Amino acid sequence: MRIGITGASGFVGRRVAELAREKGHAVVRFGRTNADRMWEPMAGPPDLRDLDAVVHLAGDPVAEGRWTRSKMARIRDSRVVGTRHLAASFKPGGPKVLVSASAIGYYGDRADEELTEDSAPGSDFLAEVCKGWEDEAKKASARVSLIRIGIVLGPGGGALAKMLTPFKLGLGGRLASGRQWMSWVHREDLAALILHAVETDAVSGPLLATAPNPVTNLEFTKTLGRVLGRPTILPMPRWQVRLIFGKVAQVLCGGQRCKAARPAASGFSFKHPDLEPALRAILS
């Protein structure tokens, strides 16, 4: 297959492109710079000629920088407007498949509720962004899969890269109560699930990209400390999280307890279902 990938220079996109090539697919990278085809998502539709499928991963980083009014507008518009332009470029005779990123932020902060692909959306800022994002993707005249991505763990980037320095210095600790759920996924599993959705005709609609065994923030903290051989005795209370990170604190102190149902039903198996072995594999 000839697969177009937006956001191909990102932490997830790079591995999706590599894995696609390893599996014998041709890859066309879309982006503003250093791309096979130039595309500015806010400016209009991209050129999708001669593609069989599109993987859409582009979007302004959620966890980088404080959530000012302009930052929140970029988070929303880069996903909703950018996906609107992308979906509009699907025409008869063009790509037959769109695999579009979404996020578990779709559900909002749901405490201990167990969430599946069929659970209702939340009502906070990120939930509304994800809902609008998915609604635009559904407009593409193609088979559409919506990958609701959890906290991505992998070497050299993502959430783990931001945590390592304080944890290695023995300054790691739980955030707020530590009871909030962290539904995580190994980057290798995420890339494999995305390509599974591209290649499997029976797959459409939402797919949770989260490992089978989510953990609380406290359990994650203790596990990462154990893998690194460092203490984790310095908790960060909610007020301090809010002071340092601003509105992003609602993401860090909230959580989703996700139990993916549709990947297994479609024949996909996670190779990294448990946190400690996954962290040891990444950090080795």
Whether the pLDDT of residue 249 is over 90: the answer is no
235: number of Cβ within 10 Å:
16
Whether the pLDDT of residue 210 is over 90: the answer is yes
Pick the CATH number of 2-158+184-212+258-272 from 3.20.20.30, 3.40.50.450, 3.40.50.720, 3.40.109.10: 3.40.50.720
So what's the pLDDT on residue 89? 96
So what's the pLDDT on residue 170? 93
So what's the pLDDT on residue 213? 98
Number of helices (H), then strands (E), belonging to the chain: the values are: 10, 13
Whether the pLDDT of residue 242 is over 90: the answer is no
Whether the pLDDT of residue 262 is over 90: the answer is yes
Q: Is residue 77 helix, strand or coil?
A: helix
Read off the tokens for 70: 């302009």
So what's the pLDDT on residue 251? 86
So what's the pLDDT on residue 253? 87
Contact 72, 112 (CB under 8 A): no
Read off the tokens for 24: 């014998």
Dist CA 92 CA 113 (whole Å): 41
End-to-end CA distance of the chain: 33
Of the candidates 204, 224, 168, the one whose C-alpha atom is nearest the C-alpha of residue 96 is: 204
Read off the tokens for 235: 């908790």
Of the candidates 48, 19, 14, 30, the one whose C-alpha atom is nearest the C-alpha of residue 199 is: 19
Containing H/E element for 209? strand 205-209
Task: Please state the pTM of the whole predicted model.
Answer: 0.96
So what's the pLDDT on residue 194? 98
Dist CA 259 CA 254 (whole Å): 17
Q: Bridge partners of 146?
A: 100, 206
Question: Please, where are the H alpha helices in 114-210?
Answer: 125-137, 158-168, 187-199
The domains of the chain are located at: 2-158+184-212+258-272
Dist CA 48 CA 31 (whole Å): 13
Range from 65-74, 79-88, 96-105, 246-255 carrying the lowest mean pLDDT: 246-255
Whether the pLDDT of residue 280 is over 90: the answer is yes
To the nearest whole number, what is the mean pLDDT of the chain?
95
DSSP letters spanning 12-54: HHHHHHHHHHHTT-EEEEEESSSSSEE--TTT-----TT-SEE
